Amino acid sequence: MCGIIGYTGHRPAVPFIIEGLRRLEYRGYDSSGVCYAQSGRLNVVRAEGKLALLEDKLANMEVSLATTGMGHTRWATHGAPTENNAHPHRSSRGELCLVHNGIIENYQEHKNALIGKGYCFSSDTDTEVLVNLIADERAAGMPLLQAFANALKKAQGAFALALMSPEEPDVVYAARHSAPLLLGIGQGENFVASDIPAFLPYTRDVVFLEDGEIVRITPGTWQVFSIESLEPLDKRTHHIEWDLQAAQKGGFKHFMLKEIFEQPRVIADCMAGRVDMARREVSIPELADANIPSRLRIVACGTSFHAGLWAAPLFETWAGIPTTVEIASEFRYRSPLLEAGEAVLVISQSGETADTLAALRIAREKDCPVIGVCNVVGSSIAREADAVVFTQAGPEISVASTKALSSQMTALLLMALYWGHRRGVLPAGVMQEALHGLSSLPGHMENSLPALREQAKGLARRYSACKGMFFLGRGQSFPLALEGALKVKELSYIHAEGYAAGEMKHGPIALIEPDFLSFFLAPHDALFAKSKSNLEEVQARSGPVIVLTNPHTEGKELRAAETWTLPEAWGPLNGFLMLCALQLFSYETATCLGKDVDQPRNLAKSVTVE
């Protein structure tokens, strides 16, 4: 949560920082601020609300001479989203400025000690405590690098930080522990940021900083140090292959819509290099050296958790691997028993989700092998897992996850095929059918998306006034029902719940009334008749119903329902088209209600706090 950026070089720093913050705004957008060095002083400008309000303030200021600065876009953790709590924060004597992504857990004890020494605080943030802790070390005579490191050694929690001092006006210091931070290396300019798009127009050469590292950048130099020893460290530079186009809207009104429409390509990219259509084979080179687990524990959060729920039956029925799926924030606090031969499979788009990362570390402490299914190369989860299967979805900017889920479902399905084949237990015909279906899925999806969007628009117009919604499914449609409800909740702020359709009669059906929508996921599968009975139970109680289904189930059988018919795909592949329909329904519902689709209230893309 929160995006930070730092720059030192030859171009005007403030416009660059604003541009970078705009590409980090998905990480938090309740307030923002910049610090820039000009005429030997550090100037700070902050604003409550969206970045545009900070730009309005800066419009009347002369900032063009500053070539070093840093910025922050906030998702509030300590203190309300006010200007006073916005970053950068100054030390109480004004000499240092700090921007921070994360949480300092022991800030209160340090605050009390600093107050005792005469330091004053004007915000409710943990960040203001940390900047004063650094100032206190500096006041004790430590050089700035040492003072920064000493203060960080006293801080517990998660942080990615950038620090400036008027003593070194063309230098930015930055450090990380359990929150993402990258160094961008340019020609006569250097960058630090929470994510690559912040500086991608200016350099594709990136150094991934690790926990416990500090970096010092000047326009012409950069050096990474260990926080513990201050020893200089050798770091490898990575060249980023994707370009800014991938991180821009490309003519779509919202990132979410663009990312929904990217799904056919994302599925094809995830298969590339893994599926040999001619030989009807799947290979996952990243797993070639790993033992096949005898039991699988999938751990993830949010949409990634739904991917795990969706894939679990495939690992069981195709690969014969008993599989359980857990929410990472629960797994991490319940001392899970892990058996010999078991593997933990963590799924994360960002690779930075704090709870998922903690679950990974717990598994590793227990000597349990960890496999990551991850999108972001260089992320903490990608680096700390024993093996990583990259989903290759490209940058996902919209806070609401869409294409990441399709790519996770593809990667997990391929893993189930791969392990099933390697173990010799894959049911006859499944490889053939699955690969045949997968090869036509991107084209199928691409052709269907425009019509699905129109249908979603019509349904959103008719049902967006509903006071609540159920999303109901059975079997592999159940996790997608959870996802449909999550999307509607986060984008439209309508209370929506995902349920196993068979659970309705055990309580939830009491909520049914004429303005409470039930959205059934009832594909043409073995469970259709059961879902149909549940649907009729809702209709019998005057509840409006939308049913997402396939052509074979249309007609008399569902006469009274509002049917949304999708072209039929093979077995589990139906889930991909249903997912698109659900995503578009939530998108159009939010649009109908005038909500901010890409930046829903109270949320941030990357959840690096607990």
Residues involved in catalysis: 2, 605
- Beta carbon of residue 375, minimum distance to ligand AGP (angstroms, whole number): 8
Q: With binding defined as CB under 6 A, does residue 349 bind ligand AGP?
A: yes
- Beta carbon of residue 183, minimum distance to ligand AGP (angstroms, whole number): 22
CB 176 within 8 A of CB 209: yes
Residue 350 or 392 with smaller CB distance to ligand AGP: 350
Residue of 460, 580, 607, 609 interacting with ligand AGP (CB under 6 A)? 607
Q: With binding defined as CB under 6 A, does residue 151 bind ligand AGP?
A: no
Q: What are phi and psi of 44, to 5 degrees?
A: -125, 130
**Which listed range, 160-168, 230-238, 344-352, 464-472, lies at the site for ligand AGP (CB under 6 A)?**
344-352
ω into residue 88 within 30 of 0, thus cis? yes
- Beta carbon of residue 400, minimum distance to ligand AGP (angstroms, whole number): 4
Q: With binding defined as CB under 6 A, does residue 302 bind ligand AGP?
A: yes
Strand positions, DSSP E, 49-146: 68-74, 89-90, 97-104
Strand order in the sheet with 495-500: 495-500, 468-473, 516-521, 545-549, 562-565
Q: For the residues of 472-490, what is the DSSP string, one character each?
A: EE-TTHHHHHHHHHHHHHH
Residue 460 or 597 with smaller CB distance to ligand AGP: 597
Cβ neighbours, 10 Å, residue 174: 27
Residue of 73, 101, 190, 353 interacting with ligand AGP (CB under 6 A)? 353
Amino acid at 378: G
- Beta carbon of residue 26, minimum distance to ligand AGP (angstroms, whole number): 10
Q: With binding defined as CB under 6 A, does residue 582 bind ligand AGP?
A: no
Q: Interior CA angle at 566 toward 562 and 570, to 5°?
A: 140
Residue of 38, 303, 476, 591 interacting with ligand AGP (CB under 6 A)? 303
* Encoded tokens for 136: 């206190």
**Which listed range, 5-13, 346-354, 425-433, 500-508, lies at the site for ligand AGP (CB under 6 A)?**
346-354
Residue 144 or 469 with smaller CB distance to ligand AGP: 469
Using CB under 6 A as the binding criterion, the count of chain residues that bind ligand AGP stands at 15
Q: With binding defined as CB under 6 A, does residue 356 bind ligand AGP?
A: yes
* Encoded tokens for 430: 């499944």
Give the 3-state secondary structure of residue 352. coil
Nearest to 199 by CA among 75, 333, 24, 319: 24
**Which listed range, 159-167, 199-207, 214-222, 347-355, lies at the site for ligand AGP (CB under 6 A)?**
347-355
- Beta carbon of residue 349, minimum distance to ligand AGP (angstroms, whole number): 3
- Beta carbon of residue 583, minimum distance to ligand AGP (angstroms, whole number): 10
Q: With binding defined as CB under 6 A, does residue 304 bind ligand AGP?
A: yes
Ranges within 55-114 binding ligand AGP (CB under 6 A):
none
Residue 101 or 348 with smaller CB distance to ligand AGP: 348
Q: Residue 552 gets which letter from DSSP?
A: G
Q: Give the list of residues 6+ apart from residue 386 with CB closer than 8 angstroms, or none.
A: 290, 364, 369, 370, 371
Find the residue with minimal CB distance to ligand AGP: 302
Helix (H) or strand (E) holding 16: helix 13-24
Q: For the residues of 365-390, what is the DSSP string, one character each?
A: HTT--EEEEESSTT-HHHHHSSEEEE
Per-residue binder mask for ligand AGP (CB under 6 A), 383-412, x = binder: ----------------xxx-----------
- Beta carbon of residue 33, minimum distance to ligand AGP (angstroms, whole number): 25
Ranges within 471-500 binding ligand AGP (CB under 6 A):
486, 490
Give the 3-state secondary structure of residue 603. coil
CB 544 within 8 A of CB 570: no
Positions touching ligand AGP (CB under 6 A) are 301-304, 348-350, 353, 356, 399-401, 486, 490, 607
